[in-house]
Structure formats: structure tokens, C-alpha cells
Amino acid sequence: MDMRARPQSDICDQAILVTGGTGSFGRAFVRNVLNNCPKIKRLVVFSRDELKQYEMAQEFPESEYPALRFFIGDVRDQTRLRRALEGIDTVVHAAALKQVPAAEYNPFEFIQTNIMGAQNLIESCLDTQVKRVVALSTDKAAAPINLYGATKLCSDKLFIAANNFRGARDLRFSVVRYGNVMGSRGSVIPYFMNLAKTGRLPITDPNMTRFNISLDEGVEMVCWALQHALGSEIFVPKIPSYRICDVAEAIGPSCQIEVVGIRPGEKVHEEMITSGDSINTVDLGPYYAILPAGGSAISVSRYLELRQASQVQPGFAYNSGSNPDFLSVEEIRNLIRAHVSPEFEPV
């Protein structure tokens, strides 16, 4: 099975809409598609932030990228979504509220965007001619202990279940779930890089670990899913972990470390596949795929046959703390230079 993730002709010949298209992922995805699909039929950025759309339009001027369009709207507004989806073949759903502390303080706002917005998109896709949908998830959706993770778990369930009532439509819904994106807005690495200038770095828990993926790798995985998903999968990449103390050492080896305690809703280690999911999880090589437990559009045995994949062992779990692949301090530094700041030097 070809796991190379550059957009191929089947993507480049389509009209694609990206919800949350002005976010970190959205901008990277748009850049990837425009660079690799010069004759893309249409690429629509759907988001609610007019300033970010304006700034993005300066980066991708219409004179050079005539297929790129900007559509102001909110996934909470189903009528607006339906209008934006006219003539669209493929949807990448990246719109979400995602700050964990903000979710605890404003729970219903997250429910309206992350859950109701997901259902609005599903209904709108069913009402139009959309053929492929890939939604972005998070490691926090596996065994969630905070509201943000719970809303994303609900969103995942909605997209997977949508395959059961697509009828005779040529329409597939799938989900991509991965860990912390290196250098994304609000993530720990740019936070530490900024704070290192003060000579002090706050550590929540010395034992804390997280999965790590670059923005480019996340985009490539979504491109792969758009080409290869059969529908009903939650795809999970095999990626390395890092220790939060190693991130601090990589960025500010001369800084004073202060242990401040775990914030509400945080875990010491993140999971992407729980042991309860193992019975429905298959190994695709560089990725895992979690299939629905029951009543799905495709059975595990049939999926194994179609994908020539293998099933994981019973009780298997994918946890950032027990992950066999950990980044060293020097590897973290090299990744920061490659994906965050080429001029980075430890403080």
C-alpha cells in the first residue's frame, strides 16, 4: 500500500473546502495543495475570521492562485455551510475550539462548535454532492478527562456514524487523530521559546509526556486519508513522544525549572488508542486505524482483507508514556529548527 502522502491526481482534480482554513493546520494544508496541485479545480477556505482571511489572501494572491476562494462563515450556521458546499467534492474539517482551560470555563461554547458544528457539517454534506470528508481529531479524544476532549470524542463518533446513513451516496466520512503539533499556536514549544528569555520555565509535572507530530506530517496524513480512506476509520499515526523535561532542556538548558502542577483537565500521559479499542484496531504500517465497534459500514475482517493489514494484539494501547519511540534532547532541537524556527538556539 502506497503511504506517500503528497496530493495525487484524484485530489488535484477536485473542489476542496477546508473548515477552519485560516488556522495553523488550514494554512499549511492550503499551502501544500496549492504547491502540489497547480491546476486544482477549486480550494475554498471557510472560516469566521475576516482578518486572518485577508492576511492569508496576501500570502496567496488571486493573480497567482485563481482557484483559491475565501468564504466567511461559522460551522454553527448550517445554512451558510450548505451554501459554501455547493460544487464541493471534498471536505477537510479542521474548525474547532481547542484550548483546554477555556473549555472548562465555557463548556457550551465548545459544545456548539465542536459537536453541533460537526453535525451541521455532516447534514450539509448529505444534502450536497460532497464525496469525501476527513475530520481532524486529537489525542485528548481518547478516554477524555476534559471537556475539550469529550467534545472531540463526540465529534469523532458523529463522523464515523454518518457512514451508516449515507445511503447510496458516494460519500465517505473518516477521522484523523494525532498528538500535539510542533509549533502550533498555543503549544508548549513556542510557549517555552518565548519564556526562556526570562530565565524560568514552568513544568506542570516532571513525568509528563506527549506525542509529537510536525504540521507537515499532519497535513501529509490528511492527504493520505483523503486518497485511501474507505470510510468509518479513525486513523492514528505512529509518531514519537517527548518528555516535557526534555523539551525544557532542549530550549532552555540554563533556565530555572519550576514545577507548577498539572492544570485542570490535563493528563500526565496522552493516549490515542485505548486498550478497549484494541479489538477494533488494525495496523496499516505507518498508521493505525480504529474501526467502529458495531453496526458499521465495514467489518474488521473485511477491512483487513481489503487493506492487507493486520489486527493489533488484544489489550494493545497507544500511550505517549509507554511509546517505544522517544525524542532525544538533540532531536527535539533539530525538529524545532526544521519546523518552528531555523534560527533557534538553546538559551
Residues annotated as catalytic (active site), given as ranges:
140
Per-residue cell: 310: 493486520
Residue with cell 528569555: 197
- Distance between CA atoms of residues 132 and 90, nearest Å: 5
Contact 187, 140 (CB under 8 A): no
Contact 77, 12 (CB under 8 A): no
Question: What type of residue sits at position 338?
Answer: A
Among 246, 243, 248, CA closest to 193: 248
List of long-range contacts for 68-74, beta carbons under 8 Å, 24+ apart:
68/30, 68/34, 68/43, 68/44, 69/42, 69/43, 69/44, 69/45, 70/44, 70/45, 71/17, 71/44, 71/45, 71/46, 71/47, 72/47, 72/48, 73/46, 73/47, 73/48, 74/48, 74/113, 74/117
- Distance between CA atoms of residues 264 and 228, nearest Å: 38
65's CB contacts (< 8 A; 6+ apart) are 34, 43
